[in-house]
Structure 1
Amino acid sequence: MKPLLAILDDYQGVALSCADFDSLRAHFDIRVYQRAFADEQETVAELGDAEVLVAMRERTRLSRSVLECLPKLRYIVTTGMRNAAIDMAAAAERGILVSGTGMSKHAAGELTWALVMAAARHIPAEVAGMRSGGWQSTVGTELNGRTLGIVGLGHIGTQVARYGQAFGMTVQAWSPNLDADRAAALNVAAVPKDKLFAESDVVSLHLVLSERTRGVVGAHDLALLGPTGLLVNTSRGPLVEEAALVEALSNGVLGAAALDVYDIEPLPASHPLRTLPNVVATPHIGFVTDKSYGVAYPQAVEDIQAWLAGAPIRLL
Structure 2
Amino acid sequence: MAEHYRLAILDDYQRVAMDHADWGSLADHGVTVTVFTKHFGSEQEAVATLADFHIIIAMRERTPFPRSVLEQLPNLDLLVTTGPANASIDVTAAADLGITVCGTEGSPTAAPELTWALILAFARNLPMEHAALREGRWQSTVGFELAGRTLGILGLGKIGRRIAAYGAAFGMTVVAWSENLTAEAATAAGATLVDRDELFRRSDVVSLHVRLSPRTESIVGAAELQLLGPDGLLVNTSRGALVDEDALLTALEEGWIRGAALDVYNHEPLPAGHPLLSAPNTVLAPHLGFVTAESYDAFYGGALEDVRAWLSGSPIRRLRP
For the Cα contact (< 8 Å) 2:152–2:203, is it kept in 1? yes
SS at match of 1:50: coil
Which stretches of structure 1, 4 residues or more, deviate above 3 A after TM superposition?
none
Q: Which residue of 2 aligns with 1:64?
A: 67
Instruction: Tell me the distance in 2 between the aligned counterparts of 1:177 and 1:80.
Output: 24
Of 162, 170, 183, the match for 1:159: 162
Deviations 1:212-256 (A, max 9, x none): 111111101101111111000001111111100011001111110
Root-mean-square deviation (Å): 1.1
| Sequence identity percentage | 58
Once the two structures are TM-superposed, the CA of residue 134 in structure 1 deviates from its matched residue by 1.6
Any stretches of 5+ residues in structure 1 without a counterpart?
A: none
The answer as to 2:7 corresponding to 1:5 is yes
Counterpart of 1:10 in structure 2: which amino acid? D
- Partner residue in 1 for 2:222: 219
Structure 2 regions of 5+ residues with no counterpart?
A: none
Counterpart amino acid of residue 14 in structure 2: Q
1:79 to 82, 89, 101: 82
Q: Which residue of 2 aligns with 1:53?
A: 56
In the alignment, does 2:141 pair up with 1:142? no
CA distance in 2, matches of 1:180, 1:304: 42
TM-score by length of 2: 0.96
Show the counterpart of 1:239: 242
**Equivalents in 2 of 1:192, 1:83: separation in Å?**
28
- Distance in 1 (alpha carbons) for counterparts of 2:36 and 2:234: 33
Task: Indicate the residue corresponding to 1:97 in structure 2.
Answer: 100
Shift of 1:186: 2.5
TM-score using structure 1 length: 0.98
2:177 counterpart (165, 174, 177) = 174
The partner residue of 1:19 within 21, 24, 33 is 21
**AA in 1 matched with 2:22:** D
Deviations 1:6-59 (A, max 9, x none): 000111100011100001124122110111110100000110101000011111
SS state of the match for residue 149, structure 1? strand
How many residues matched?
316
Residue in structure 2 matched with residue 229 of structure 1 by the alignment: 232
Match of 2:194 among 191, 195, 206: 191
1:206 aligns with 2:215: no
